Amino acid sequence: MAFTCVFYVVMILIYGMVIPSSLAKNFNYFGNLGFTRKRLNEAKEIKNVDLIVVGSSHAYRGYDPRIFKKAGINTFNLGSTSQSPLQTQYLVSKYIKNLNPKFVIIDIYPILFSVDGMESQIDLISSGLMDREIVKMSFDMNNIALYNSLIFGAFNSIFHLRQQKKSDNKGDTYIPGGYVQSYKSLKFKKTRFTQKITISAIQLKAFKKTLEYLKTNNIKYVIVQAPFSKSNYDSYTNNEEIDNLFSGLGEYYNFNKILNLPDSMYYDDSHLNQFGVNIYNKKLLEILRSKGDLTKIAMRN
């Protein structure tokens, strides 16, 4: 058994160094979607911001720190690819003291409340995060691909066995503050199969823990559902149920009901491009100012 364990680890390391990612079905350490490593490295150096944004790719593609800066608000974006509430809870607890925000925007993409969080977990591991909490979360998820990524990640963080490749997203530009800019407008399907969003009890529990953590630390927050294409949004049959759930957890805005943006404002059927972000961010700031959420921050700066 001892020999088998050592042999397995050695083979994972060799596998990770030489096998193309396209052939690695039970091992995924090679991706670099959304510049997560670059964002987290920057987060280590940033201190005392006014506002942070957490959430999935909707977060890091949807909130431009340059627009918030013009409004007098210093912002950092802690979004990551497919970030589920489990990873949001982890990232908030890890970085909140250093970033020391006065306000948090929690961007939700409801379908990610129904996933196991493995894709996001692998993204964090392959971006260099390796600590006791990451290991514990990975064992709780109990998936072979995750274990393999964890083994390779642990050794790679020490011995630098393989460099992470550059982002596959051509046309994307990383903007300091954690944001990813794109002016692309891709063609996407205008009709989709209908489906119901099923909320995972584990993910909802993690989400509520994040809210409680913010409350305990006297940090104000707002829950926001960024707009995505109408064909995508309309494919979900229980949007009203989702709205009722999140409106009961705090100040909540569903911008699929507030804005009606044309398809040209979207990168794909799920994400805004820069043209859409410009409109969305200005409207969000207008609403938050009218509620008094950001007025004191902007005045202080």
Question: DSSP letters along 15-77, please?
Answer: HHHHS-GGG-TT------GGGHHHHHHHHHH----SEEEESSHHHHTT--HHHHHHTT--EEE
CA distance 251 to 126: 34
Note whether 51 and 102 are same-domain residues: yes
Q: What is the pLDDT of residue 159?
A: 78
Q: Which residues of the chain have pLDDT under 70?
A: 21-22, 24-32, 163-169, 295-296, 298-301
Q: For position 160, what pLDDT does the model report?
A: 77
CATH number at residue 279: 3.40.50.1110
Rounded CA-CA distance 257/234 in Å is: 11
In a domain, 117, yes or no: no
Residue 185 has what DSSP assignment?
A: -
The enclosing H or E element of 248 equals: none
186 in any annotated domain: no
**What is the value of pTM for the model shown?**
0.93
Q: Which residues contact 233 (CB under 8 A, 6 or more apart)?
A: 227, 239, 256
State residue 18's pLDDT score: 82
Give residues with Cβ within 8 angstroms of 88, minimum separation 6: 54, 55, 106, 206, 207, 210
Give the C-alpha separation, 177 to 53, whole Å: 10
User: Given this model, what pLDDT does residue 295 score?
Assistant: 67
**Same domain (yes/no): 41, 2:** no
Both 101 and 236 in one domain: the answer is: yes
Co-location of 148 and 106 in the same domain: no
pLDDT confidence of residue 231 = 92
Does residue 219 lie in a domain region?
Answer: yes
Residues 17 and 45 in one domain: no
Whether 64 and 102 share a structural domain? yes
Residue 253 and residue 135 in one domain: no
Residue 58 shares a structural domain with residue 39: yes
The answer as to whether 216 is a domain residue is yes
**Rounded-to-integer distance, Cα 80 and Cα 82, Å:** 6
Tokens, residue 84? 């589920």
Considering the domain architecture, whether residues 26 and 48 belong to the same structural domain is answered as no
Under 8 Å CB-to-CB from 97, ≥6 apart: which residues?
A: none
149: closest CA among 21, 5, 2? 21
**pLDDT at 99 (0 to 100):** 97
The structural domain count of the chain equals 2
In a domain, 121, yes or no: no
Indicate whether 289 belongs to any domain: yes
Residue 122 lies in a domain: no
Last residue of a domain, one of 163, 189, 224: 163
**What's residue 16's pLDDT?**
82
Do 262 and 205 reside in the same domain of the chain?
Answer: yes
According to DSSP, the β-strands at 103-107 and 220-225 are parallel
Instruction: Kindly state whether residue 177 falls inside one of the protein's structural domains.
Output: no
pLDDT, residue 15, reads 83
Sheet hosting strand 51-54, strand order edge to edge: 75-77, 51-54, 103-107, 220-225, 252-254
From residue 153, give the alpha-carbon distance in Å to each of 82, 123, 140, 173. 19, 11, 17, 26
139 lies in which domain range?
1-30+128-163
165: which strand partners?
A: none
pLDDT, residue 300, reads 55
For residue 53, the cross-strand partners are 77, 105
Same domain, 250 and 153: no
Helices (H) and strands (E) in the chain, counts: 14, 7
Q: Are residues 204 and 152 in the same domain?
A: no
